[in-house]
Amino acid sequence: MKANWTRREFVQRVGTAAGVLALGGTFAEFLAACGGSATTSGSKLEIFSWWTAGGEADGLAEMFKIYKAKYPSVAIQNAAVAGGAGSNAKAVLATRMQGGKPPDSFQVHAGQELVSTWVKASKMEPITAIWASEGWDAVIPKDLKTIVSSGTDVWSVPVNVHRGNSLWVSAKAASAVSATTTNNLDNFLSALGTAKAAGMQAPLALGSKGNWQVTMLFENNLVAVGGADFYRGLFTGKSSWTDNNIKTALNYISRMLNYVNSDHATIDWDQAAGRVQAGTSVATIMGDWAKGYFTANNWKPDTDFTGIPSPGTTGTYMIVCDTFGVPKGAPDHDNAVNWVKVCGSKDGQAAFNPKKGSIPARTDVPASLFDSIAQRFMGEFKNASLTPSIAHGSAAPEAFASGLNDEMGQFVQQKNVNASATNIAKLAAQFLQ
């Protein structure tokens, strides 16, 4: 089994190597120059995230409940900013951090988004001592620790592992878009074609507001057409961004677009999931936070819907890992430290993840707490070839990820495979070298 090797590859890319990939200079330097400020503690705790949709907001509320029970005198301020993948929140956070007004703790993806942005800019406090005193080495896999570490320090604690390469299918569609018809991209497209021929206008639900959802289609398709080694190689220099797989992956997106709702640019991922639930679409490709959405809206896993690897990606796991750390100058420093402890705790992760749709970062949270789809994902995660997500901050510096999102926004309008492939190669040359 290649699992050990591939995990090492994964870690090398998003972890220790993360610091060498500069954000692009000036922004990081500017932040570094701002420096930290003295820490104090009050009776409040401000938590910043983008968890406002069904499922994700419920998961967050569960962790708030645990915090409240432990620290009843602390008033929690939920500073969540709506917009999937932090499409609005990240800009708000950057403004606050630059202005010296950090929240007490904020959601940040493991890997580049943490290390080559906030750590590089000297805006985080190390949590190395907390990690040790909480005994997390014994319960959080080393691979996950590595991608929230740089130098000799640890900078945040993973609260979950999401799977970015998932396909969600309504049970009503089970015969048309079944697991066997979705095991590769061509079969999937022909299943969508069958559904459309039977009268369904938009069998594949897409919400592309903010464009990151199309970046997800792109990264999943890259794994499907090139394999996990090819995909990881794009970030280590072993694979080329001018490889024909780039065009093939784009071409598959273009073909998928024949089957999506025409208003996709105006809706987000949760509204797209809502279309599946409403029955106007039969499937959507989205991270397993979509499972959180469905269960929050009273759909039963493996009864009303199911979840499987996105077409052509069986055996791989597109890692999306949410973490929390403590920024320098957190106004309620000690409360923030206690928050991070809840995030890394067994109770916290046991309460959070079943609602969130993710699997826990800790290995000691009982699988029996989870639905059957999550249990399957937990099993697959153990042996899967891990690939870090671009769309969700792990694989590449922010400048590349946001440039790619913009390009995907162009692509869904123009569907010009050659032009987008050229522009993507330019972005890679600029930001990944």
The residue ranges that bind ligand GAL (CB under 6 A) are: 50-51, 56, 84-86, 162, 269, 287, 289, 320, 322, 392
CB 166 within 8 A of CB 309: yes
Supply the minimum distance, in Å, between the C-beta of residue 373 and ligand GAL: 16
Of 107 and 181, which has the nearer Cβ to ligand GAL?
A: 107
State how far the Cα of 327 lies from the Cα of 333, in Å rounded to an integer. Answer: 9
Q: Which amino acid is at 129?
A: A
Supply the minimum distance, in Å, between the C-beta of residue 85 and ligand GAL: 4
Supply the minimum distance, in Å, between the C-beta of residue 260 and ligand GAL: 18
Radius of gyration of the chain (CA): 20
CB 119 within 8 A of CB 19: yes
CB 114 within 8 A of CB 108: yes
Of 143 and 334, which has the nearer Cβ to ligand GAL?
A: 143
Supply the minimum distance, in Å, between the C-beta of residue 59 and ligand GAL: 8
Helix 56-70 vs helix 289-296: crossing angle, to nearest 10: 80
Supply the minimum distance, in Å, between the C-beta of residue 312 and ligand GAL: 22
Number of residue whose CB is nearest ligand GAL: 84
Q: How far is CA 374 from CA 21, 24, 379, in A?
A: 34, 38, 9
- Please return the burial class of 135, using the count of CB atoms within 10 Å of its CB with bins 0-12, 13-18 and 19+: exposed
DSSP line for 360-413: -SSS-S-GGGS-HHHHHHHHHHHHSEEEE-TTTTSSS-HHHHHHHHHHHHHHHH
CB 328 within 8 A of CB 342: no
Supply the minimum distance, in Å, between the C-beta of residue 111 and ligand GAL: 11
